[in-house]
Amino acid sequence: MYCTRKITEGITWIGGSDRRLALFENLFPIPRGVAYNSYLILDEATAVIDTVDSSISRQFFENIQHTLNGRTLDYLIVNHMEPDHCANIAELLLRYPNMKVVGNAKTFCMINQFYGIELKDDQTIVVKEGDSLSLGKHKLSFYFAPMVHWPEVMVAYEETEKILFSADAFGSFGALNGNIFNDELDFDKDWLDDARRYYGNIVGKYGPQVQMALKKLSSLDIAVICPLHGPVWRNDLGYLLEKYDIWSKYEPEEKSVAILYASMYGDTENAANVLAVKLAEAGVKNIAMHDVSSTHVSELIGEVFRCSHLVLAAPTYNNGIYPAMLNFLHDCKALNLQNRTIGLIENGTWGPVAAKQMKEILDGLKNMNVLEPVVTLKSALNDASMEQLEKLADAIAASLAE
Ligand code: FEO
């Protein structure tokens, strides 16, 4: 049965949610599920804006059929060609053979690559930056947003109702539970962590491109943002735009500390706990701690985007960095993370090298300020390493107070 909601009189949300999928992109845990948003505009002409993942195809087609109410589909706008949004193009072409597909040159190349579909000229409208498509009262203008999150990405702005169809930008992990609008849910409490984790892991590498897109969009009068995942934003847009501005500049969202530790037998964890207590006694609040072996790396990346200060504590392993910590650091590098203040704790029973190697990776990232001293444990905390730990706690507290 159809399951839709009206965005405005002429624009309907025809997406759906998947609560069965364990790993988004077969990589990122999504215990709260994920929504695939799609939108249908009813005017003199009809248009669907992006399709959905194949997991919810049945719901999608029931939604389209109900919303069209006997009319045909004139246009499919393809803003993004990742298969979580374009999996139903072939089926739409079969059901609505006169439908025209609207995209850019890269879009059509990808349609062919993924699905072996070579669309004829009279089946396509190839748009360039700033081109428009009139549907009647509604008029869509297209703006390219390359690498937010793939090279073919564009966004569509509907100027009559001031609606931005923003592709992956402004999206979030999390299924939509009837409440599809941001003003129907407690975003800060229930969504922000997943929105940050989505941004950091999916789009995080492309901060400069997000900045370019934000600059381009700043000239538009936007009342509603319709992303491809997560809630539709129809008020308080400044909140969301500010988050995107901060994240895409790789600035920390908060002045706060996350201690990320790896520990084989509890001794490095003990040092992390002692440091946390010393920081608390120095007045530091809301300290976060994560065991990197049991916390998914996508959560750790979310914490990096949130926190100004990170403490990385790891044993030496095979004359290198403990694997779970090394994996996290590789992700930091891949995502181009910058501008953080770091404390380092290493452990090594006979030849500690983890801190030196962690620092080498951090030195390859932009503007990572590694505090002194580095704390070195030889198996377990002792008086000498405790003294280093106290000094590191002082340095972190002083840096936070700046
Ligand atoms: Fe939700 Fe880049 O696809």
Give residue-wise pLDDT tens across range 310-319. Answer: 999 999 999 9
163 C-alpha vs ligand 1 centroid, how far in Å?
20
Mean pLDDT over 244-258 rounds to 98
| Ligand 1 midpoint to CA 78 (Å) | 12
Ligand 1 binding pocket includes 168 (Cβ within 6 Å)? yes
* Whether residue 243 has its Cβ less than 6 Å from ligand 1: no
| Residue that has been written with the tokens 């609560």 in this structure | 19
- For residue 142, the cross-strand partners are 156
278 pLDDT band, cuts 50/70/90, is very high
CA of 80 to the centre of ligand 1 (A): 7
H helical segments located in 101-206:
105-115, 187-190, 192-198
201 close to ligand 1 (CB < 6 Angstrom): no
60 three-state secondary structure? helix
Query: From residue 271, how far is each of 11, 241, 345, 389 by CA, in Å?
Result: 56, 39, 8, 8
How confident is the model at residue 183, as a pLDDT?
Answer: 98
**Does pTM top 0.95 for this prediction?**
yes
99/93 Cα distance (integer angstroms): 7
The tens digit of pLDDT for each residue in 175-211 reads 999 999 999 999 999 999 999 999 999 999 999 999 9
Percentages of the chain per state (helix, strand, coil), in multiples of 5:
40, 25, 40
Average pLDDT over residues 345-349: 98
Give yes or no for residue 229 CB within 6 A of ligand 1.
yes
Distance 186 CA to ligand 1 centre (A): 24
Q: Ligand 1: which atom is nearest the Cα of residue 168? A: 1
For 280, other C-beta atoms within 10 Å of its C-beta total: 15
Residue 186 confidence (pLDDT): 98
φ and ψ at 275, to 5 degrees? -60, -40
Q: What's the confidence (pLDDT) of residue 59?
A: 98
Q: Tell me the pLDDT of the chain averaged across its residues.
A: 98
Atom index in ligand 1 nearest the CA of residue 228 equals 1
CA of 168 to the centre of ligand 1 (A): 5
Q: Return the number of other C-beta atoms located less than 10 Å from residue 105's C-beta.
A: 10
Kind and range of the H or E run holding 321: strand 320-321
Is residue 154 a contact partner of residue 167, using CB atoms and an 8 Å limit?
yes
Q: Is the CB of 80 under 6 A from ligand 1?
A: yes
What's the CA-to-centroid distance between 49 and ligand 1, angstroms?
14
- What integer is the mean pLDDT of 387-397? 98
* 174 Cα distance to chain centroid: 11
pLDDT of residue 69: 98
Q: Is the CB of 149 under 6 A from ligand 1?
A: yes
Q: Whose CA is nearest to atom 3 of ligand 1?
A: 82
Position 319 scores a pLDDT of 98
The backbone region for 198, taken as left when phi is positive above 0, alpha when psi lies in -120 to 50, beta otherwise, is alpha
Note if the bond before 83 is cis, omega within 30 degrees. Answer: no
Q: Is the shortest distance between the CB of 18 and ligand 1 below 6 Å?
A: no
How far apart are the CA of 83 and the centre of ligand 1, in A?
A: 8
Digit-coded pLDDT (tens) for 61-78 = 999 999 999 999 999 999
- Give the DSSP letter string of 240-307: HHHHHHHHHTT--SEEEEEEEE--SSSHHHHHHHHHHHHHHHTT--S-EEEETTTS-HHHHHHHHHHE
Q: How far does the centroid of ligand 1 lie from the alpha carbon of residue 331, in Å?
A: 19
Tell me the pLDDT band of 350, cut-offs 50, 70 and 90. Answer: very high
85 in contact with ligand 1, CB cutoff 6 A: yes
Rounded to the nearest angstrom, the distance between the alpha carbon of 74 and the centre of ligand 1 is 24
Instruction: Say yes or no: CB of residue 309 within 6 Å of ligand 1.
Output: no
Predicted local distance difference test score (pLDDT) of residue 296: 98
